[in-house]
């Protein structure tokens, strides 16, 4: 619903409705094209949705996007029906009015324009009905999880200035996994490395012992804004001089060391990150060659956090953890790995259960704090909507992963 709503610009819509061709009927158009659980999508519905997408000038291949949208619409409608939710006729008409109004048209004008180009009113009605039912379901299902506390509003309204002046740092890292059997050896090694002040010597140790993706480059990280680092690490880094190594930092199942290579003030203060969304998929086998190989294959197959629902399908719920937390509430080791990632990127540097479980960690996204002069009620509404959107998208991804979808 959101995608099409954004696209319904008045001028583009009017021009498209005037010029778009009518799709000709085809043999077998009303035969099932896709089965979604017990629901059916016909070839006629696909062509109608594709034609509507053309009229709205939606990006991408209209037929491909139509398939994706109709499958999602069936899943939304099925989930709503299972929860006893059925929008009234007035609910649907109000939704049609709202959508048409975004093109500065009445519902009657909008449907007439669609029909003039071969798109039936029922196609528009079905599209809106699925969206209305889904919104009702999301509000009902997640009402208890969308409330926003006063402290969250305060945090969102807080000054985005960070530490007062922009500071960025150039670090090298070594993160060494540790099990009960290797703890004494790893701690002794970490203490020796902490005494180094030579950048090349630290890099040599990183190539030999570090478990992170930067191992091949001697643990060297690119420039990072200080505020991107976990809150617990920021004062430690600021206390180092170039070339100096931090004291060994105990993490869960590992020891970490950081060497400051350089530091500079940029004059730019990055926005404060209010929340970080991430997913952790727990893989048995720890850092064994076999498990790491499986993790590399998995990383090549997933592009976003939602994809992990399909990977975890049929497994115990605890193998996949997904959360959205303020940076200060995220465990330090996870927060540091996330600080190095862009959305959709993966880290396999961490373990749990005394090294027996590998953490396949993916960054879903970051949410910046809202400007200080924003109205509290508007901020609260925005935070609730953000939370509901994230919960709804995660729920839809779960429905997709559990669904039986057959293309004819």
The string of pLDDT tens digits covering residues 223-253 is: 888 888 888 888 899 889 899 999 999 888 8
Residue 3 has pLDDT above 80, yes or no: no
> What is the average pLDDT score of the chain?
84
pLDDT at 360: 97
Average pLDDT over residues 340-361: 93
**Mean per-residue pLDDT for 192-220?**
93
Report how far residue 380's alpha carbon sits from residue 150's, in angstroms, rounded to the nearest whole number: 9
CB within 8 Å of 285: residues ≥ 6 apart: 291, 294, 356, 357, 358
**DSSP run (H or E) holding 351:** strand 346-352
Residue 125: is it exposed, middle or buried by C-beta count within 10 angstroms (0-12/13-18/19+)?
Answer: middle
**For the ranges 7-11, 101-105, 166-170, 362-366, the one whose mean pLDDT is highest:** 362-366
Mean pLDDT calculated for residue range 58-70: 87
Predicted pLDDT of residue 371: 54
pLDDT higher than 90, residue 270: no
Whether the predicted pLDDT of 2 surpasses 50: no
Query: Which tokens belong to 359?
Result: 């953490």
Asked which of 66-75, 85-94, 95-104, 308-317 is least confident by mean pLDDT, the reply is 95-104
**386-405 pLDDT tens trace:** 778 888 888 898 898 899 99
Q: What is the mean pLDDT of residues 1-25?
A: 39
The fraction of the chain above a pLDDT of 70, given in percent, is 86
Mean pLDDT in residue range 379-385: 73
From CA 7, how far away is CA 149, in angstroms rounded? 34
Burial status of residue 398 (CB atoms within 10 A of its CB: 0-12, 13-18, 19 or more): middle
* pLDDT tens digits along 18-42: 334 444 444 467 788 999 998 999 9
Q: How many CB atoms lie within 10 A of CB 337?
A: 27
Mean local confidence (pLDDT), 104-111:
91
At residue 372 the predicted structure's pLDDT band, cuts being 50, 70 and 90, is: very low
pLDDT for position 12: 39
Instruction: Please report the domains of the chain, with CATH numbers, ordered by start residue.
Output: 2-145 (1.10.4030.10), 167-265 (3.10.50.40), 273-368 (3.10.50)
State mean pLDDT over 319-323: 93
pLDDT at 379: 67
For residue 266, the model assigns a pLDDT of 65
pLDDT band at 9 (very low <50, low <70, confident <90, very high): very low
Q: What pLDDT was estimated at residue 173?
A: 96
- Single pTM value for the model: 0.50
Place of tokens 């799709």: 23
Distances (CA, A) of 15 to 12, 18, 223: 5, 5, 48
Q: In the numeric block, which tokens belong to residue 299?
A: 């990383």
- How confident is the model over 286-298, as pLDDT tens digits? 999 999 999 999 9
At 343, list the tokens.
Answer: 């959305």
């Amino acid at each position: 619903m959101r995608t099409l709503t954004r696209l319904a610009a008045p001028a583009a819509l009017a021009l498209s409705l005037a010029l778009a061709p009518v799709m000709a009927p085809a043999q077998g158009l009303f035969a099932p094209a896709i089965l979604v659980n017990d629901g059916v999508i016909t070839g006629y519905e696909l062509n109608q949705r594709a034609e509507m997408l053309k009229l709205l000038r939606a990006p991408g291949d209209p037929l491909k996007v139509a398939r994706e949208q109709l499958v999602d619409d069936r899943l939304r409608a099925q989930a709503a029906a299972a929860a006893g939710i059925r929008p009234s006729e007035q609910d649907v008409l109000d939704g049609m009015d709202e959508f048409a109004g975004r093109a500065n048209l009445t519902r009657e004008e909008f449907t007439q324009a669609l029909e003039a180009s071969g798109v039936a009113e029922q196609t528009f009605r079905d599209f809106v009905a699925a969206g209305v039912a889904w919104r009702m379901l999301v509000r009902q299902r997640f009402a208890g999880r969308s409330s926003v506390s006063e402290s969250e509003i305060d945090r969102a309204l807080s000054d985005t200035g960070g530490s007062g002046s922009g500071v960025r740092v150039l670090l090298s890292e070594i993160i060494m996994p540790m099990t009960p059997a290797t703890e004494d050896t790893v701690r002794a090694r970490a203490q020796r490395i902490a005494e180094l002040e030579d950048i090349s010597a630290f890099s040599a140790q990183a190539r030999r012992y570090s478990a992170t993706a930067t191992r091949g480059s001697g643990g060297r990280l690119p420039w990072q804004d200080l505020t991107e680092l976990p809150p617990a690490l920021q004062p430690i880094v600021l206390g180092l001089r170039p070339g100096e190594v931090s004291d060994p930092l105990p993490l869960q199942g590992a020891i970490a060391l950081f060497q400051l290579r350089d530091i500079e003030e940029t004059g730019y203060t990055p926005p404060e990150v209010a929340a970080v969304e991430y997913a952790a998929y727990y893989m048995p086998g720890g850092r064994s060659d076999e498990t790491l190989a499986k993790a590399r294959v998995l990383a090549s197959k997933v592009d976003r956090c939602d994809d992990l629902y399909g990977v975890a399908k049929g497994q115990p719920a605890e193998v996949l953890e997904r959360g959205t937390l303020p940076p200060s509430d995220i465990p330090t080791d996870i927060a540091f790995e996330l600080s190095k990632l862009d959305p959709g990127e993966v880290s396999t540097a961490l373990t749990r259960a005394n090294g027996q479980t590998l953490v396949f960690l993916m960054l879903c996204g970051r949410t910046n704090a809202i400007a200080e002069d924003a109205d509290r009620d508007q901020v609260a509404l925005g935070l609730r909507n953000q939370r509901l959107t994230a919960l709804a998208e995660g729920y839809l991804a779960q429905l997709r992963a559990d669904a039986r979808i057959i293309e004819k």
